[in-house]
Amino acid sequence: MRVYDIIKAKRDGGELSTEQIEFVITACTKGEIPDYQLSALLMAIFICGMNERETAELTLAIANSGTRIDLNLPKAIDKHSTGGVGDTTTLVVAPIVAACGIPVAKMTGRGLGHTGGTVDKLESIPGLSTELSMEQFINQVNTIGLALMSATTEIAPADKILYALRDVTATVDSIPLIASSIMSKKIASGATHIVLDVKFGIGAFMSSVERAEELAQAMVEIGRRVGRPTVALLTSMDQPLGNAIGNSLEVTEAIQILTGKGGSADLREVCLAVAAQMLKMHYMDLADSEAICRVEEALNSGAAYAKLKEVVAAQGGNLDRELPQAKHSLVVTSETSGYISYIDALALGTIAITLGAGRVRKEDKLDYAAGLKLLARVGDYVETGAPLITAYSNAPIDQTLHKALHNAYAFSLTKPELPPNVLKIIR
């Protein structure tokens, strides 16, 4: 079998066989295919696409390219978010679901670009480590019902090779390649049931609802074909999901929601919706209303926050210690009166990077205290001079940032109609 023939077949719009897909992924993992041929194949897939069978088999081949984890659980229910700005859902959802008695084994990643990473947020907690051995990870899930671990290099190594090439060959934005990348890692990390939080909007990977739904449908179909029941929620990311953007700031907001002492109502709503779907995955005959009731009880009773404290302590952290605090801050005030009609989530995510909250390159060092805190959201009425947002950093803040932050807001004389935070659920 020759890679040349496989490239040519896909370039001409052909359908790749199971054997061809497995051959490419196996050879790719072993380093037996030069980058120029892999790049050519990725471009052919980007242009010509893949059908549902090809996409599912590509997913399985990537999942099988490295270690496959067995969590030794009757059901291992995992959640995945396609990412966004202020997306703190894992820090709230995982403790809620675990407090409901459902084990959560969560492997997660670091942030790159304007989207934050759960590992970075967790590591802003003093003493906490996400570097667990596989034995520690599985043992912790089976003893306290929750573990939060950084993804290992042994999981789906072919995906890392392919993504590095996609990133530099303008082939990232391909539904079959995105869907297989996400689902392969969930399958390889032991998930038997998967709940997806697929974002749409300016701050999301998929800016349009149509593309987000296409991606969600593709991943749900992969789950069906490979025997991993999957449900996807389409959720809005036109404005930041929470009030906080930045690592310790987002941990603080997660704690506020878990303790009932504040936090964005939008973030709380999405977290409850995702958690409820995870419960429905576990208890297959559970009605929507009962699932929401149970997750709200876990949240309101304090059980979810107790579970977060338990997992943080198990991984060496201490929530009783003060989180990182910034030395410098800048409050941005409104230059007009009116209703906030729009907040540019992408612009705010990019500004948070310049403050030190995120990375442009993988080796960049984070300022865990850096970031932004929204003081007003879309739909709020503000007077001239009212505070809109505060910037935080341990490095001196350039005062010209005031204008860039203010420009991320738009105003109107009438109150805007807000789209639903959860637009649709795809089963």
Angle, alpha carbons 132-108-74 (nearest 5°): 80
The one catalytic residue in 10, 110, 121, 185 is 185
Q: Is 30 a catalytic residue?
A: no
Contacts of 212 (CB under 8 A, 6+ apart): 82, 198, 199, 200, 204, 206, 234
Catalytic annotation, pick one of 80, 114, 186, 294: 80
What are residue 148's DSSP bridge partners?
A: 106
State yes or no: is 282 an active-site residue: no
Q: Say whether 341 is catalytic.
A: no
| Catalytic residue, candidates 10, 106, 114, 166 | 166
Q: Which two tokens stand for residue 19?
A: 């054997």
Burial of 13 (0-12, 13-18, 19+ CB in 10 A): exposed
Q: Could you confirm whether 364 is annotated as catalytic? A: no
Q: What is the DSSP letter of 112?
A: B
The answer to whether residue 328 is catalytic is no
Active-site residue, from 78, 159, 238, 344:
159
Q: What is the 3-state secondary structure (H, E, C) of the chain?
A: CCHHHHHHHHHCCCCCCHHHHHHHHHHHHCCCCCHHHHHHHHHHHHHHCCCHHHHHHHHHHHHCCCCCCCCCCCCCEEEEECCCCCCCHHHHHHHHHHHCCCCEEEEECCCECCECCHHHHHCCCCCCCCCCCHHHHHHHHHHHCEEEEECCCCCCHHHHHHHHHHHHCCCCCCHHHHHHHHHHHHHHCCCCEEEEEEEECCCCCECCHHHHHHHHHHHHHHHHHHCCCEEEEEEECCCCCCCEECHHHHHHHHHHHHHCCCCCHHHHHHHHHHHHHHHHHHCCCCCHHHHHHHHHHHHHCCHHHHHHHHHHHHCCCCCCCCCCCCCEEEEEECCCCEEEEEECHHHHHHHHHHHCCCCCCCCCCCCCCCEEEECCCCCCEECCCCEEEEEEECCCCCCCHHHHHHCCEEEECCCCCCCCCEEEEEC
Pull the structure tokens for residue 357. Answer: 């909250």
The catalytic residues are 80, 159, 166, 181, 185
